Amino acid sequence: MRKIFLTIGLSALFFIAKGQVVLNAGELKLALDKNGYFTQLSSKATGKSYLYTDTLAPLMTLVSGNARFMSARLVYDEAKSKITLEFKEPGVAVEIAVESKATHVVFEVIKAQPENKIDAVVWGPIPTTIGQTVGEIIGVVHDREVALGVQVLNIKTLGGNFPNREGSTWSRGIAAVPTMWGSFLQAYSINRNRERFVDAWGGEQVNMPVRAIKGETVVGSKIAMFSCSEPATLDRL
């Protein structure tokens, strides 16, 4: 079965085909499989896919009990433009609103339960084959033809992959990181709704208590993904 609908006022296209969710937004084409993993990350301008396929490529990774979990199932609600990722072992479900725009696609966490099983969520890490220029701070990678990027859209979303319990890094930046095959793109959000113990100041201060910030869960974490020609990168940002 193949179902197609057009987003109102936009030429972007969602459809479900062969168990995959396929999304077109500007020059970017994405595909996600039934488990919540990218199977395509393409530029329509070049006709090439820039997804590195010899490692896992999750839309989201769950951090729970200081362990990391990959989604076991993706459910797509076409009418509501909503993806639900199910993380089987910790028993967590995360609902993600998807909005396709003329130049990029937006993903936003709109529900994540049970909240007490969620330490953090990581968008990605998304492996790409592009490694010529890696913008660690801004989360953009490009070669001489095309740029790919993951942009954080609010203060509760940070560039990186939740590197430690403190949720911070003393390095130059980890929104994008180089690899032997290309790069990773990644962002994360911390559940600050409960008291935590962190290793602060780069691990110098161990098990420091951090008070809860009421209502500050991972709900609302929001990113944009885009592709454009390399010369248009700054204008797109």
The predicted pLDDT at position 86 comes to: 98
Is the previous residue joined to 125 through a cis bond, with omega within 30 degrees of 0? yes
Contact partners, residue 156, CB within 8 Å, separation at least 6: 189, 190, 216, 218, 220, 221
8, pLDDT greater than 50: no
6, pLDDT greater than 80: no
Question: Could you tell me if residue 85 is inside a domain?
Answer: yes
The predicted pLDDT at position 229 comes to: 80
Pick from 82-91, 158-167, 221-230: least confident: 158-167
Question: Could you tell me if residue 70 is inside a domain?
Answer: yes
Contact partners, residue 67, CB within 8 Å, separation at least 6: none
50, pLDDT greater than 50: yes
Question: Could you tell me if residue 47 is inside a domain?
Answer: no
pTM metric for this prediction: 0.88
**Largest Cα–Cα separation, the chain:** 56
Q: Are 85 and 72 in contact (CB under 8 A)?
A: no
Each residue's pLDDT tens digit, 149-167? 999 999 999 999 988 777 7
Question: Could you tell me if residue 168 is inside a domain?
Answer: yes
CA distance 184 to 125: 6
The predicted pLDDT at position 171 comes to: 67
Q: Are 175 and 137 in contact (CB under 8 A)?
A: yes
The predicted pLDDT at position 202 comes to: 65
Pick from 11-20, 187-196, 207-216: least confident: 11-20
Give the structural domain span for 159: 52-232
**Residue 16 banded pLDDT, cuts 50, 70, 90:** low
**Residue 208 banded pLDDT, cuts 50, 70, 90:** confident
Average pLDDT, stretch 130-156? Answer: 94
Average pLDDT, stretch 51-67? Answer: 95
Average pLDDT, rounded, for the chain: 88
Question: Could you tell me if residue 180 is inside a domain?
Answer: yes
8 vs 188, more confident: 188
Question: Could you tell me if residue 176 is inside a domain?
Answer: yes
Question: Could you tell me if residue 73 is inside a domain?
Answer: yes
The predicted pLDDT at position 201 comes to: 66
The predicted pLDDT at position 205 comes to: 72
Question: Could you tell me if residue 25 is inside a domain?
Answer: no
Question: If DSSP states are collapsed to H, E and C, what string results for 75-139?
Answer: EEECCCCEEEEEECCCCEEEEEEEEECCCEEEEEEEEEECHHHCCEEEEEEEEECCCCEEECCCC
Q: How many domains does the chain have?
A: 1
